[in-house]
Amino acid sequence: MLRGVISPSSPHEQYAQSLRQAGLDRTALGRDWLAAAERALQTTVTITLPYRETGYFSPEEAGAVAYRFDARRGQRLRIEVELEASEPGRLFIDLFHRGPGSEALERVASAPAETRRLEHEVDHDGSYVVRLQPELLRGGRYSLTQQALASFRFPVLGKDSRAVSSGFGATRDGGQREHHGIDILAPRGTPVLSAADGVVTSVAVTDIGGKVVWLSRWA
């Protein structure tokens, strides 16, 4: 057991440690709060994104809720919560990932303590779980919104999909070959942007493609 040796890495873990340090984990309310956090991860509600729900956390009871959904690499998850409460308090939002063939959950992201919004770019396909839990003696009516958005940016400054003049798979040379790319029209000198964070692995000039820059997103 390394509790107390390794610093907590999320607002929820920091709060849980503060309860233990204050001896509140030996009280009925503190035990219930810690147990509710674990129980929520074991009794998840299965959903499909996009998803919106309204619920209620009673300030008199230690509660938590968790939702499970599937996400794919390349998606950007956006989780937002609005909380109507009579007393100000923190609401902890944590995101966990369960890999293929595994029952273990790994925390991959948490909302900052001062916000009720979490965004995360999905690096691995699989099952994800988001958990909501207010601090002790706080609660209220909440509205949860979860979305899966595209994580790639448009690669030409100031342009959008209307600038695409030729799509992937379009015929070339009278049908003898297919165009394995996408043409985007813009005035000469318009900056080209990286569609995602990554590492440039190759720069070349080819007869068909012209100036080519290879970007590896997962390097």
Same domain, 211 and 112: no
Q: What are the DSSP calls for 99-123, one per residue?
A: -TT----EEEEE--TT-SEEEEE--
Same domain, 135 and 207: no
Range(s) of the domain holding residue 203? 161-216
Helix (H, G, I), strand (E, B) or coil at 35: helix
φ, ψ for residue 51, nearest 5 deg: -145, 140
Same domain, 28 and 128: yes
Query: What averages of pLDDT result for each successive group of 10 residues across the chain (219 residues)?
Result: 53 96 96 98 97 96 97 92 93 92 89 92 93 96 94 82 85 83 90 83 86 76
Torsional class of 17: left (φ above 0), alpha (ψ -120 to 50), beta (otherwise): alpha
pLDDT the model gives residue 147: 97
DSSP 84: E
Same domain, 44 and 127: yes
Last residue within a domain, chosen from 101, 120, 150 = 150
Give the pair of three-digit tokens for residue 182: 């996408």
Determine, yes or no, domain membership for 6. Answer: no
CA distance 147 to 79: 7
Same domain, 100 and 49: yes
